[in-house]
Structure 1
Amino acid sequence: MNISIPKETIEFLSKLEKNNNRDWFNNHKKEFKSIETEVKKIYNTVFENLKEHDDVDKVKLFRIYRDVRFSKNKLPYKTHFGGSFNRVKPNLRGGYYLHIAPNNESFIATGFWEPNKDDLLRMRKEFEMDDQEMREIINNKAFKNVWGELVGDEVKSAPKGFNRDHKAIDLIKKKQYIFTKKYTDTEVLKPNFIENVNASFKVIRPYFNYMSDVLTTDLNGVSLI
């Protein structure tokens, strides 16, 4: 399906940045609803494309309204669209994310944003035991040309129970295991943007295959599911 992001999407989000208040938003609610309808089509298309080469069970488009109850930032609206695509658990792990924002701040992301305590420990133990396969995947030239470097929050030195001088401490100390790819506004509005997103998501597959294998087995390689 040939579908592209309307330029009105970026234009509306840019205006919302400058007018992030309820009066302005309510006065432009009809415009927002029209744009939201088109954006949902975009995310559903990404979802259908993903299903052609991976097992994903749902797409979640996040609401434009911000939860300001526990935030110092009291602006009522997000100035971007964001949506996630979940792989089918328990066999498959990892997830995809698409972020559409003005000012050249759009991006896609893949990986593990908030691994639970058990999964995080399992990943760290794997890297402590053997980091070679992980490095071969993330340092592959074709992979790196699309996704660049592994990113994510990390502890300052070493997690409890791990040696800070371990040769894989750069992997062990991470709390997130994420890859991102940025896009300019011009790139987002090109007719082949969704095709590019899908092609990039395909490239992440060796990483997901490896991590899924790690997270569904114990350190002896015995299946946990």
Structure 2
Amino acid sequence: MFEGFTPETIDFLWGIRMNNNRDWFLEHKKQYVDTLYTPMKALGQQLFEPFLEKPGSILKVSRIYRDARLHHPLPYKESLWCCIRQDVDWWAENPCLFFEIRPEGVSYGFSLWHPRTVTMEAYRQKIAADPDRFLDLLRQTELSTGIPVTAEVYKRPKPAENPALAPYFAWKADIGCIRNEEVGEAMFGPALGDRARAMIEQLIPLYDYFCEITAMNA
């Protein structure tokens, strides 16, 4: 059961940012496990509950250690996240529902960060074939979450025969609907998990829609 993060969680994250080395981490490893990693696993399990009988999606919880194969100069990450996604090789090319904590606060919601070109072509074909479904999905998502769905756009947008779809034909990457919360009292305790769970559930239709698109090119 997710009981919440604490000020000690944020202390650790600032500490690893300022002291990103093995000696400091080993001295504070218990703080990492108790106040960051264990709560994140519990939160991930809470967020994943609506997907337990929903085939196709998996839960991933990150760890603080960087992948040594990337040859990053610093051994540890400065944030921790969990995400719900399809079982794919590279998460960034596929839709995901996520929660991330950083020294400055938390973010959670929907992301399709770096879709393949073929995915975005399939996306344009899909929304052109049934514009009402797509536009209604965007309206319902913003109505339920209070947050618009946004994206990085092309400098030279793709032409759209339907004027109502022109802004969405311009989407290129970094599609998201994300809530950000700065560090404060409201961020500590189990209520954060309830808020994140509620938003994740509100975003399932958006997630499913983009999973349909990526499945077309699997």
Please give the range of the TM-score, normalised by the shorter of the 2 chains: 0.7 to 0.9
Partner of 1:156: 155
Partner of 1:169: 166
SS of residue in 1 equivalent to 2:179: strand
Indicate how the Cα distance of structure 1 residues 144 and 184 shifts in structure 2: closer, same or farther if over 3 A, else same: farther
Q: CA deviation at 1:84?
A: 1.2
SS of residue in 1 equivalent to 2:97: strand
Partner of 1:185: 183
Q: CA deviation at 1:34?
A: 3.1
Q: CA deviation at 1:111?
A: 4.0
Residue identity over aligned pairs, in percent, reads 20
Indicate how the Cα distance of structure 1 residues 183 and 25 shifts in structure 2: closer, same or farther if over 3 A, else same: same
Q: CA deviation at 1:189?
A: 0.9
- 1:21 lines up with 2:11 in the alignment: no
Deviations 1:147-200 (A, max 9, x none): 512223332112xxx427862232122233321111232332132111111111
Q: Which amino acid aligns with 1:96?
A: L
Indicate how the Cα distance of structure 1 residues 53 and 202 shifts in structure 2: closer, same or farther if over 3 A, else same: farther
Partner of 1:74: 73
**Is the strand fraction higher in 1 or 2?**
2
Between 1:177-186 and 1:111-120, the stretch displaced more is 111-120
Indicate how the Cα distance of structure 1 residues 56 and 10 shifts in structure 2: closer, same or farther if over 3 A, else same: farther
SS of residue in 1 equivalent to 2:75: coil
Please tell me whether the aligned partners of residues 119 and 213 of structure 2 are also in contact (alpha carbons under 8 angstroms): no
| TM-score calculated relative to the size of structure 2 | 0.76
- 1:127 lines up with 2:127 in the alignment: yes
Partner of 2:41: 40
User: What is the aligned-residue RMSD (CA, Å)?
Assistant: 3.3
Cα distance in 2, alignment partners of residues 30 and 191 from structure 1: 21
SS of residue in 2 equivalent to 1:97: strand
Indicate how the Cα distance of structure 1 residues 37 and 138 shifts in structure 2: closer, same or farther if over 3 A, else same: same
